[in-house]
Chain A
């Protein structure tokens, strides 16, 4: 027999209890973003492959689910919402600042099930378009922190980096793109030995090579700024540290200092993010909850010159973290359960409507005996119950209208 319950790997159901919590989480964050003036957008699941082609690196393009259209055009399941928002924002009033958010699923083609990732993943994210300065970054990092707080997470860290720091060191070294990619990978693994061996082969000047070798340890609290500033004379690199420090100071004034950490060796999507990069973590989950940064170079490829910054939260991962912190609840049972002999439907309707108008969830049960209903309510923890018999309401437990 064919098992019809089987799912392709990397796809998951959300069962009622989980879905209940997911909806609450999405509602809390939507409310937060609304209060900051963000408007929700919805984007299609399918796009032209070409939309992503010029922006993504080949390895990311490979990881897209592809389909063909009736005219032979290549289509793709969206791998990420941000790019869609860059595309759609070109149709909005270009001069204005746009504040947008979304709750959508994205797709990633994984060719092995041996990974902590899934092929369809829910994301909640915000994008601020049309502001290229520090203030945009301050708003987005603040909103990332507020997102975790609204979700109910207490212990979390938002880690900040600046891709410009590494990029300016690379352009100083005169490395080729392939070499830079190799070094990026080593830095992202914090593989000091690998970096040292790489730099020995490349004949990089001593001072610069010293700085690059320090990258894996350039993380921690605000002391990182002073350490980094002391190890380079590269003006652009120093500017990028000063920028991050200004961002840090602004966030500190907002009272967010305890949630912030710094990692100048976090090189996240160097082709994609132009400045600020950020990641969010929490105790109890060894995976990253939030990912984002500034991507000023992306909107121009859709024909409008607009600075942009944003982040996305992995909804499922945040649910895991909240569960670990004991913040998730089982979906509660209904408030009121009843049975009816189905002789007086007008009474049933008006009585239930009245209860529902008071905000109570009212749920009909299909047993016939009153004692069965009482036993059922006791088992499920349903507070109130009643029976309708011969045109009369009989309260069995709790109180009803």
Chain B
């Protein structure tokens, strides 16, 4: 483990806000804003190394210690249950994990053998287990909203940000499972062995998001 800090950044939804927060912590992010296909970038001071990864992979990079700190949605953390420190709620990327489906079929939602299409297999399983409902979970990797429309599933479990996609497809939120935000996560060993750099950085980031 070298002395620089490796930061795993999620591509997509959370990327812009993440960079904004890092900049407020006086981290030079100019390299990140350039249109580049590079997956590994370094800031001008050489103190930070950035890696761009698929959002759902962030906890994996952190758990295995190839990156020291990362930004991951709470949805990903709940789904992967990675063994990492979850040190701060960044507040942005707010959305909800919901059960959604057709409004007029609400009556059927609580019946047994409900078919649930989702990207979040573990979250859905745990949710229905806690409710004591047996369900068939259908794992999809995208366009989950299609499930009820084409009759693949009765409902979906997915994150809902604005609700526009649901609305456009005639679906509504039936149940809210939990609220989600972006979290700052840290490798369990990096926090200890690089405490002198990481702890002040965490403090800075926490202060930056309050501003």
Contact yes or no, B187 A286, CB < 8 A? yes
Q: Give the size range of B's interface with the partner.
A: 20 to 34
Contact yes or no, B192 A219, CB < 8 A? yes
Contact yes or no, B1 A286, CB < 8 A? yes
Interface string of B157-191 (1 = CB under 8 A from A): 00000000000000000000000000000111111
Closest A residue to B87 by beta carbon equals A190
Contact yes or no, B192 A287, CB < 8 A? no
Interface string of A156-171 (1 = CB under 8 A from B): 0101000000000000
Closest A residue to B187 by beta carbon equals A286
Contact yes or no, B195 A288, CB < 8 A? no
Contact yes or no, A220 B65, CB < 8 A? no
In angstroms, Cα B193 to Cα A159, docked, is: 11
Contact yes or no, A286 B89, CB < 8 A? no
Contact yes or no, B192 A159, CB < 8 A? yes
Contact yes or no, B192 A286, CB < 8 A? no
User: Beyond A114-B60, A286-B65, A286-B66, is A261–B1 a contact (Cβ under 8 Å)?
Assistant: no
Contact yes or no, B88 A286, CB < 8 A? no
Interface string of A283-298 (1 = CB under 8 A from B): 1111110000000000
User: Which chain A positions have C-beta within 8 A of B187?
Assistant: 286
In angstroms, Cα B203 to Cα A216, docked, is: 13
The answer, among B63, B64, B87, for a CB contact under 8 Å with A216, is B87
Q: Does A7 have its Cβ within 8 Å of any Cβ on chain B?
A: no
Q: Does A369 have its Cβ within 8 Å of any Cβ on chain B?
A: no
Q: Does A104 have its Cβ within 8 Å of any Cβ on chain B?
A: no
Contact yes or no, B89 A287, CB < 8 A? no
Interface string of B57-76 (1 = CB under 8 A from A): 00010111110000000000
Contact yes or no, A288 B88, CB < 8 A? no
Most chain B CB within 10 A, of A191, A216, A220, is at: A191
Interface residues of B (CB under 8 A from A): 1, 60, 62-66, 80, 84-89, 186-193, 195
15 further A-B pairs in the complex, CB-CB below 8 A; given A190-B186, A216-B85, A286-B187: A114-B60, A157-B193, A159-B192, A190-B86, A191-B85, A191-B87, A193-B89, A194-B86, A216-B87, A263-B192, A283-B1, A285-B1, A285-B189, A286-B189, A288-B189
